[in-house]
Structures are given as C-alpha cells and as structure tokens.
C-alpha cells in the first residue's frame, strides 16, 4: 500500500481528536498534502474504526483515487487551503471553547502572547453552511497570513507544514479560547474586560518566534 507512513499518521492524529477533547462523535476532520495528492479522513466514520487502508486519497480537485469511503464533507475547505497556500496539513475541529468563542466575536482578543503562533490575531470566518464552497472561501479568507482561524458558529481550522504542527496549533487555539472565555466570565467580578496585549507587543513576539526558527513550535515553547 503506497503512502503507508502518511496513512498511519492520519489515523494516529484522527484517533487523538476525541481523547484530546477537540471533537465529539465523528465530527472534525484531518488531511495532509503529499505532492499532488491529498490524504483525508473519511466522512462520518467512527475514528476508533479508522484504519490506514480506509484513509481517502484524492487529487487536488477532490477526485477520489484510493479508498472505498467518501472523503470528509469538508473536502472543499481542505482543497481550498492546498490550492491557494503552501500549507500541507489541515486540522478541522469543533473544540468546545473555540466554538463558543466563534459565536461571540469577530476576532479572538489578544490577551496572551501565544496568539503569535498564528501569525497575528486569530480571525473568525463568517458563517456558511458546512461542506459548501462558500464556507471554504470564508475560511481561506480568514486564514490569510495566519495558521489558524475560528469558523463562526461552527469550530476551528489550523494549518501547517506537517500534521503534527497543525494539530498542535489546534490544541493551542483551544487553550487560548478557553483562557479568554474564563477571563471574560470572571471580568464581571472586577468590573472590566480582560486586558489585551498591544499590537506592537504581538508583533515583537511574532518576530521572536520567527528567529526561533519556527511559526508553530515542534518543540515546546518556553516562557
């Protein structure tokens, strides 16, 4: 079976989605690009039953080349990222805090320097029905110059140069949203909103991360 290593990687990360609290049930999906091929999770399959041979392989237009199941219904979104950027991995989740935040703001307020991992303030892509080209366009727009976005009233998308990187960014995004939600909830008690970092400080940290040699840390971020 060709692409055995990549298929195994899709299975490994897909099976982490539920234990890591990034999805409920069969929601969410993952993909990676290898040359002109895209490997993606099948639609509606319980991740516990996903095996390497069930991973879908398509071309960049979404035509199924290998696999006996339909690829994820969000394939237009994944393909849009691959056809318009250099990213080679996409992780889409319905993480709880991030989904809650996606219903409240147009951009995640910058109250922690780790927002710099995403290249700037994390935008919320305007709502469109799941699986549609409209949603794909909305998300691709919100991702411009960023490695992650929220999807209004839906969830998250993170991208990267590897599945490990995109997946780790998704965990960071969920954590940042959880921190903002908790701070916002407690804000009433002290009579003010959570304190935001100035834009120039965010730019400073982005520059530090760049000289650190990575946009998203393959190794842990200190500080």
Query: What count of residues does the chain have?
Result: 223
- Minimum gap (Å) between residue 138 Cβ and Zn ion: 13
Which of the residues 118 through 177 are near Zn ion (CB under 5 A)? Answer: 155
Distance between CA atoms of residues 70 and 177, nearest Å = 32
Task: Mark whether 9 is an active-site residue.
Answer: no
Q: CB nearer to Zn ion: give 71 or 155.
A: 155
In terms of CB distance, is 143 or 215 closer to Zn ion? 143
What is the pairing mode between strands 64-66 and 56-59?
A: antiparallel
CA distance 27 to 12: 16
Q: From the CB of 48, what's the least distance to Zn ion, in Å?
A: 19
**Size of the residue set binding Zn ion (CB under 5 A):** 1
Backbone angles phi, psi at 109, to 5 degrees: -55, 140
The distance of closest approach from Cβ of residue 141 to Zn ion in the complex, given in angstroms and rounded to an integer, is 17
CA distance 121 to 101: 14
User: Which is closer to Zn ion, CB of 42 or CB of 155?
Assistant: 155
Classify each residue of 71-99 as buried b or exposed e, where b means 16 or more C-beta atoms within 10 Å of its C-beta.
bbebbbbbbbbbeeeebbbbbbbbbbbbb
User: What is the closest distance, in whole angstroms, from the C-beta atom of residue 29 to Zn ion in the complex?
Assistant: 7
Q: Are 90 and 173 in contact (CB under 8 A)?
A: no
Q: How far apart are the first and last CA of the chain?
A: 43
- x/- letters, 24..43, toward Zn ion (CB under 5 A): --------------------
Q: Which of 6, 9, 70, 74 is catalytic?
A: 74
| Nearest residue (beta carbon) to Zn ion | 155
Cβ-based nearer residue to Zn ion, 120 or 126 = 126
* Nearest to Zn ion of 7, 92 (CB atom): 92
Q: How far apart, in whole angstroms, are the C-alpha atoms of residue 91 and residue 41?
A: 10
CB of 7 to Zn ion, least distance (A): 22
Q: Which residues bind Zn ion (CB under 5 A)?
A: 155
Q: Which residues are catalytic?
A: 74
């Amino acid at each position: 079976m060709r692409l055995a290593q990549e298929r195994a990687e899709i299975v490994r990360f897909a099976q982490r989605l539920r234990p890591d609290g990034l999805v409920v049930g069969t929601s969410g999906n993952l993909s990676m690009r290898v040359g002109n091929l895209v490997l993606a999770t099948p639609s509606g399959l319980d991740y516990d039953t996903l095996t390497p041979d069930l991973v879908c392989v398509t071309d960049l237009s979404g035509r199924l080349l290998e696999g006996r199941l339909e690829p994820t219904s969000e394939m237009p979104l994944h393909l849009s990222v691959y056809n318009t950027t250099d990213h080679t991995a996409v992780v889409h989740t319905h993480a709880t805090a991030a989904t809650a935040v996606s219903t409240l703001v147009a951009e995640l307020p910058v109250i922690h320097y780790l927002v710099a991992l995403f290249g700037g303030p994390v935008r919320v892509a305007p709502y469109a029905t799941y699986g549609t080209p409209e949603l794909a366009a909305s998300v691709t727009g919100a991702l411009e110059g960023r490695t992650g976005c929220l999807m209004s009233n839906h969830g998250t998308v993170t991208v990267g140069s590897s599945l490990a990187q995109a997946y780790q960014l998704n965990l960071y995004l969920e954590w940042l949203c959880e921190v903002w939600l908790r701070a916002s909830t407690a804000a009433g008690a002290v009579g003010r909103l959570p304190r935001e970092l100035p834009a120039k400080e965010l730019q400073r940290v982005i520059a530090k991360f760049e000289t650190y040699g990575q946009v998203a840390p393959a190794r842990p971020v200190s500080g």
